Copies of this chain bind each other. A is one copy, B any other.
Amino acid sequence: MMDNRKLIAVIGGSRSSAKENKLAEEVGRELAKRGAVLVCGGLGGIMESACRGAASEGGLTIGILPGESRREANDYVQIPIVTGIGYARNVVVAKSSQAVIAIGGSYGTLTEIGYALQNGIPVISLGTWSLSRNGKTDKSVIPAKDAADAVSIAFEHISE
């Protein structure tokens, strides 16, 4: 690959709180400042806030859309990928990314976390799901303190 920009996903719900949106925007800004390409699901809420943040710093934003039209992308997606495969596109968001930062989120976000972990892709949490099985907490998801911390952890955990 002639390009060594990192692709990092921000995942989370299309319905999100003002606080979560602010966090997503900060993460987007921070990713752009550090030269990463932002990958996301391309829709509203967390995805839109992260794209807005990245775009405000001149970053490149990729939206991997579930539906049939590029028009469903939020206003800050620069490269809309129109999959037409519905929420099976969550696996594409995860696999295309070298690290995933999860902010809040619902069951769709849970599937993206599952796919990332299944593929050995680091997942950094800003208030997303905690997982346990048979009474034991799964420690795979890495908690972060704030947006800058999440982005730092993401870069540290990207394997070449």
Binding site for B on A (CB under 8 A): 1-3, 5, 7, 37, 55, 60, 62, 64, 68, 70, 73, 75-88, 90-92, 95-96, 104, 106-108, 110-111, 113-115, 117-119, 127-134
Residues from chain B with Cβ under 8 Å of A85 in the complex: 84-86, 88, 91-92
Give the CA-CA distance A91 to B87 in the complex, in Å.
8
Residues from chain B with Cβ under 8 Å of A87 in the complex: 84, 91, 115, 118
Known interface pairs A83-B95, A92-B84. Does A118 touch B128 (Cβ–Cβ under 8 Å)? no
* Total copies of this chain within the assembly: 4
* Nearest-Cβ distance from residue A106 to partner chain B, whole angstroms: 7
Inter-chain contact A106/B118, CB cutoff 8 Å: yes
- Dominant SS at the A interface? mixed
List 17 interface pairs A-B (beta carbons < 8 Å), by A numbering: A2-B55, A2-B76, A3-B77, A5-B78, A68-B86, A68-B95, A82-B92, A83-B91, A83-B92, A84-B95, A86-B86, A87-B91, A88-B88, A90-B111, A107-B114, A110-B113, A130-B132
Give the CA-CA distance A1 to B90 in the complex, in Å.
22
For residue A78, which residue of chain B has the nearest CB? B3
